[in-house]
Amino acid sequence: MNKLLLVLLLPFCAQSQHEFKTLDSRIVWQHTFTDTVQPLQLFDVLKLRPAYIDCNYDQNIIFGHSDFIDLIKDNSRLAIYARYDVRYSYSIDFKEDKYRVTLTNLFFDPLDARRSLTLDDLLLKSKDGSLRSAKIHQRFYERLHEALIKEFTYTAPEKW
């Protein structure tokens, strides 16, 4: 009985703690932050960042597109695409004491600039549309997840 329980739980223990998933054959990253930040406070911080050239606010939702951002600073032991800058579409919706960030249309800017690569092109299996799960991909998901958490964690602007 104990062996059966261990075999059933093993796949859940082995999964990494990133928040990438597939939705309609596209990769989406979604994370909910617990914070009392007001929508306009976060909007004011984001629109000051040069990469958020298209930042909009309407009815408690912040949305737009980023320019290319160098998010993953330590890309050692990752696939080559992790060295490229990334851009994405984002939407941030708010509820009481929390906000949820959803990223879609993730693109990488390759160094040779022939064409942008989508995260879908790189990480979805053509056979069944699921996320690739090799160790090198898991490390990438985890590092990008950590970078995105840092990118969207609200920090009040310093007052002078």
Share of the chain above pLDDT 70, in %: 79
Instruction: Give yes or no for a contact between 52 and 46, defined as CB atoms under 8 angstroms apart.
Output: yes
Question: Per-residue pLDDT for 47 more than 60?
Answer: yes
Whichever domain contains 93, its CATH number is 3.30.530
Measure the CA–CA gap between 40 and 62, rounded to whole angstroms.
9
Asked, for residue 157, whether it belongs to a domain, the answer is no
Q: What domain count does the chain have?
A: 1
Residue ranges making up the domain that contains 31: 16-152
Q: Which two tokens stand for residue 34?
A: 């617990």
Asked, for residue 5, whether it belongs to a domain, the answer is no
* pLDDT recorded at residue 112: 58
Asked, for residue 1, whether it belongs to a domain, the answer is no
Q: Exposed, middle or buried, 29 (CB in 10 Å: 0-12/13-18/19+)?
A: buried
Question: Per-residue pLDDT for 16 more than 60?
Answer: no
What secondary structure letter does DSSP report for 132? P
Instruction: Give yes or no for a contact between 30 and 103, defined as CB atoms under 8 angstroms apart.
Output: yes
Q: Which two tokens stand for residue 108?
A: 């990488």
* Residues 107-114, mean pLDDT to the nearest whole number: 68
Asked, for residue 158, whether it belongs to a domain, the answer is no
Asked, for residue 91, whether it belongs to a domain, the answer is yes
